[in-house]
Structure 1
Amino acid sequence: MLNRIKSPWMGIWNGVGGKIEKGEEPKESVLREIMEETGIPLSDVEYKGVVTWMVDGLITGGMHAFLAEVPKDFEYHTPISTDEGILDWKKISWILHPDNLGMANLKYFLLKMLEDSNTYNHKFVYENGNVADYSAEPMEEFVNV
């Protein structure tokens, strides 16, 4: 997990990611971003769909979502301070704990991504900075993501 030091998620724990560069496919982008933000070299990730959001009535963004596993014997000592924020391993129970107020919207969709082999469009509606609605709609499988 990454506790971001810049807006808009400053001080909030979230997954690692970033922007797709011109000419990149989403999978290429996420592998590059993981390497840039963590230094962890991965060769494969699993596509899990998209997360989109509407803020105060306007569609303002979206992202492709992926899962990755590092080998069980992989050593990566945290916490680590980076240009993006603080990297640290977190247990799923900590991420999903109802009293954890320092998480991004992962608590809404993380279990579905971990436990369900299907891909979804996870849709958020924000009003006044809070999640007003969330839904997950099944997606068709993507071949070239």
Structure 2
Amino acid sequence: MKLATLCYVIDKKNNSTLMIYRNKKQNDYHEGKWNGLGGKFEQGESPEECAIREIEEESGLKIKSLKMKGFITFPLFDGKDDWYVFLFTADEYDGELIDSPEGHLEWIPNNEL
């Protein structure tokens, strides 16, 4: 079993959501796909701590608050393990986007998602 987070960072002013096109990591199971930000838990992390850390690592944004929206299970998601994913949204953050080590970041208008 893998524990992970998935967060959709929302820009309320521009009615858009930050998405990542996964195209930079070697052997990335998600290569070639658009997704929200997030990833696997590190030892001792809470779901919120994991989401905040992953968003900062992947985007450079510092999240001020999260809203938990649900919990998703993906049986045998990677062909081996069941994944249990905590789903969040965030619309309060500081910082500037970085050149993400995981892929291309883009604010996608919500009506296009």
TM-score (norm 2): 0.68
Deviation at 1:11, TM superposition (A): 1.1
- Aligned CA RMSD, in angstroms, stands at 2.5
**3-state secondary structure, aligned to 1:45:** strand
Deviation at 1:47, TM superposition (A): 0.7
Deviation at 1:68, TM superposition (A): 0.3
**Which of 1 and 2 has higher RCO (CA within 8 Å, sep 6+)?**
2
Aligned to 1:42: 63
Matched, 1:69 2:87: no
Q: Which of 66, 75, 82 pairs up with 1:60?
A: 82
Matched, 1:87 2:105: yes
Q: Deviations over 1:3-24 (max 9, x none)?
A: 0124211111100001111111
Larger Rg: 1
Structure 2 unmatched ranges of 5 or more: 1-18
Give the Cα–Cα distance (whole angstroms) in 2 for the partners of residues 75 and 83 of structure 1. Answer: 17
More strand by share: 2
Matched, 1:16 2:53: no
The code of the aligned residue for 1:40 comes to L
TM superposition outliers: structure 1 runs of 4+ over 3 Å? 55-59, 74-77
The code of the aligned residue for 2:50 comes to S
The code of the aligned residue for 2:70 comes to G
Aligned to 2:20: 2
Q: How many pairs align?
A: 91
Contact 2:59 2:99 in 1 (8 A): no
Aligned to 1:32: 53
